[in-house]
Amino acid sequence: MLPAYNDYCPLTYVDAFLQENGNYLVNGYDVEVGKSDIRSSAGFLVVQLGRIERDFTLEMAASAIYQSLHSLFAACNADVNLEIFRTTVEFSEFMKLYRCNYSHVILIGHGSSQGIEFLDKPKPVAGSELCG
């Protein structure tokens, strides 16, 4: 908190009104967005993709990003959480229950241009499969 910024929050709030044509009027501009693009609050989920053995580099990276987001959005009404998953099943089941709480998901793990590694998959999981 800085002395000149009482309750400082880096998120910008907008007024959005649904029009008859299906577009939103956002701050006076006609914008074509879907209902899922308008959120009442932001949420950040930092996901550490783990293994059986501890990986201190991964742990430190996930913790640093979580702490940075937590500090940056401390004055906002934003959910900032850190979760550790090892398998796609764990990640999928969690997201089925809580995905509506988060506007952003940050994955911290090992991977390559082919995808991200999970314990229960023999090959890296590509972005399209992960989003599904």
What does the alpha-carbon distance between residue 55 and residue 107 come to, in Å, rounded to a whole number? 15
Residue linked to tokens 């900032």: 80
Instruction: Indicate where the chain has its CATH 3.40.50 domain(s).
Output: 39-131
pLDDT score of 60 more than 50: yes
Residue linked to tokens 């959480």: 81
Average pLDDT of the residues of the chain: 82
Q: Are strands 16-18 and 24-26 parallel, antiparallel or unpaired?
A: antiparallel
Q: Rounded to two decimals, what is the model's pTM?
A: 0.73
| pLDDT tens figures, 15-45 | 777 778 777 777 767 666 666 666 667 889 9
User: Which architecture does CATH list for 39-131?
Assistant: 3-Layer(aba) Sandwich (3.40)
Q: Rounded mean pLDDT of 48-60?
A: 90
Q: Which range, 4-8, 36-40, 61-65, has the best average confidence (pLDDT)?
A: 61-65
Contact 116, 107 (CB under 8 A): yes
For residue 92, which of 54, 40, 130, 127 has the smallest C-alpha distance? 130
Is residue 52 very low, low, confident or very high in pLDDT (cuts 50, 70, 90)? Answer: confident
